[in-house]
């Protein structure tokens, strides 16, 4: 089941990169890593750990 979730996540990342105007996911990955210093996945994981779960005030 984890493989299915991971595959869906990769597809969403590729779709988002194309919708944002990048020609491909690898192009987005390189630009992101150059600007942030880490991969999109590492950035997401780090940000998720620091931020903690969202609360109601985050939605306003």
Q: For 4-60, what is each residue's pLDDT tens digit?
A: 887 787 788 889 899 999 999 999 999 999 999 999 888 888 766 655 555 555 445
Whether this model's pTM surpasses 0.85: no
What is the dotted CATH code of the domain comprising 2-52?
A: 1.10.10
pLDDT computed for residue 59 by the predictor:
47
Query: Is the model more confident about 6 or about 1?
Result: 6
pLDDT computed for residue 57 by the predictor:
54
Q: What ranges do the domains of the chain cover? A: 2-52
Measured CA to CA, the distance from residue 57 to residue 14 in angstroms comes to: 30
Does residue 14 contact residue 25 with C-beta atoms inside 8 Å?
A: yes
């Amino acid at each position: 089941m984890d493989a299915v979730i991971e595959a869906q996540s990769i597809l969403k990342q590729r779709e988002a990169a194309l919708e944002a105007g990048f020609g491909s996911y690898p192009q987005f990955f390189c630009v992101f890593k150059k600007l942030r210093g880490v991969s999109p996945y590492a950035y997401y994981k780090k940000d998720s750990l620091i931020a903690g779960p969202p609360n109601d005030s985050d939605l306003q």
